[in-house]
Amino acid sequence: MIELLQVAQVPPFLIDRLKAEYTVHDFINPSDPEAMLREIGPNIRGIVAGGMKGPDAALISALDNLEIIASFSVGFDATDVAAAQTKGVIVTHTPEVLTGDVADLAMAFILMAPRRIGESERFLRAGTWTERRMDLGTTVRGKRLGILGLGRIGRAVARRAEVFGLNIAYFDTKPMGDLTYRSYPTLLELAEASDMLMVACEGGAATRGLVDEAVLNALGPNGYLINTARGPIVDQQALVKALQDGRIAGAALDVFDGEPNVPAEMMAMENVVLTPHIASSTAETRRAMGDLVYDNLKAHFAGKAVLTPVPHQI
């Protein structure tokens, strides 16, 4: 049997399906990784990775017969793609199949943060409604939504937001062609022109800390930050401080720098919506993602082209 190395948690249905056709070695938290690699390393031809945990350059280099890394995620920043591609190793991911669910959560956040929906539920559950009325929220109609990264998910959010009467603008390093949305030359200028700033760009070293103190200051005391992309794109300490100081009005976050740990300061804030990285967490989407991981591996080992390769990074 072809042997695979599992380095990230993926749904049991996918592992069960893979184990029916491959030998799958659990390398998520090995007690002695070096000894395990000495024993099975030469036999490993594929890696099953995830969006938050993937093989680094050292692991890729240690596997002489590695051919493919199949990631259960649309983001591939957890895998050292450049190291893999330099070695001739194919890297695949799961785009498209999770776009709708991620965009749905982002749109929910766009509504929840200014309308104070999370806060209002806590207000009701605490019994405070029997004592007084809750303070007013803010409508989204006519507001300006700035999107950082107008890829698949960014565009899907833009289409949803238009229906709710928001005005869309964006910043992206790649040419977007003839779009009706206004493009800004810098992220800072986009933030200055936005009531809500939504993070939808790729994670990784190039975008770490991209949303920094200056961007948050430009967003301003009436602005909201929305992030369903990757936590490290936002300077988390700068965000905490901006929220504490009232330099932005609030935030809605599905991802964090250092997750599953979330800053205690954020946990105590009423004006912050927090969810545990659930943007693609529906049974339908996870099944489709698992099917795509399986299909990519199946195609490769059958000598065919993979379905969804990661773009060339070197």
Please give the positions annotated as active site: 230, 259, 277
E strand or H helix that includes residue 108: helix 99-115
Residue 29: other Cβ atoms inside 10 A: 7
Q: Say how many CA atoms lie within 13 Å of 105 toward its Cβ.
A: 25
Is the CB of residue 102 less than 8 Å from the CB of residue 109? Answer: no
DSSP characters over 223-252: -EEEE-S-GGGB-HHHHHHHHHHTSS-EEE
Q: Say how many CA atoms lie within 13 Å of 178 toward its Cβ.
A: 0
Tell me the Cα Rg of the chain. 21
Supply φ then ψ for residue 6, to 5 degrees. -95, 115
Q: 174: Cβ–Cβ under 8 A, 6 or more apart, which residues? A: none
Is the link from the previous residue into 260 a cis peptide, with omega within 30 of 0? yes
Closest by CA position to 223, among listed 192, 193, 249, 191: 249
Closest by CA position to 74, among listed 46, 116, 102, 47: 102
